[in-house]
Amino acid sequence: MENCLFCKIIKHEIPAEIIFENEKVLAFKDITPQAPVHILVIPKEHISSPEEISEANSAIAGEVIAAAAAIAKQQNLEGYRLVFNCNEIAGQTVFHLHCHLLGGRKMNWPPG
Ligand code: 5GP
Ligand code: ZN
């Protein structure tokens, strides 16, 4: 989608530190890391938020989570947190579905 930051990263129009890529999914380092490991895992298909996931396209959500879990394993993370922010009130700033993979430090609960 035009004017979508993450679609531009997928098309290599904006540089990113890519960690993993396959046909359906791209993973790259977050530019403002909130943990020693902070990787964003996104579908290559433009889906704006978790709200846009339906039965018709839900397989991609599984692909994103499976990729995040594989990356966490490859990074030797003992534990990790996966976060999907949905809408501004929950902290979503980029409206292309993304899974935050956070690890490498103790995580607090509840989150802020
Ligand atoms: P959100 O706040 O929408 O859940 O997450 C968006 C994330 O994208 C933020 O953690 C932010 O640091 C990251 N981000 C924003 N712009 C860029 C960029 O140009 N490159 C990379 N690698 N990450 C970005
Ligand atoms: Zn997009």
Q: How many domains does the chain have?
A: 1
Is 110 inside any structural domain? no
Is 45 inside any structural domain? yes
- Catalytic residue numbers? 98
Q: Which domain holds residue 29?
A: 5-95
Where residue 80 sits, what CATH number does that domain have? 3.30.428.10
- Which residue has a Cα nearest atom 12 of ligand 1? 32
For a mutational test of ligand 1's pocket, the pick from 20, 30, 95, i.e. the residue with the most ligand atoms closer than 8 A to its C-beta, is 30
pLDDT of residue 112: 80
Span 64-92, mean pLDDT? 98
Assessment of whether the complete model's pTM goes beyond 0.85: yes
Q: Please work out whether the CB of residue 33 comes within 6 Å of at least one atom of ligand 1.
A: no
The DSSP output letter for 5 is H
Q: Which residues surround ligand 2, an ion (CB under 5 A)?
A: 1, 4, 6-7, 46, 96
Average pLDDT across the chain, whole number: 97
Percent of the chain residues topping a pLDDT of 90: 96
- Model confidence at 63: pLDDT above 90: yes
pLDDT of residue 36: 98
Q: What is the DSSP string of 19-66?
A: EEE-SSEEEEE-SS-SSSEEEEEEESS---SGGG--TTTTHHHHHHHH
- Model confidence at 110: pLDDT above 90: yes
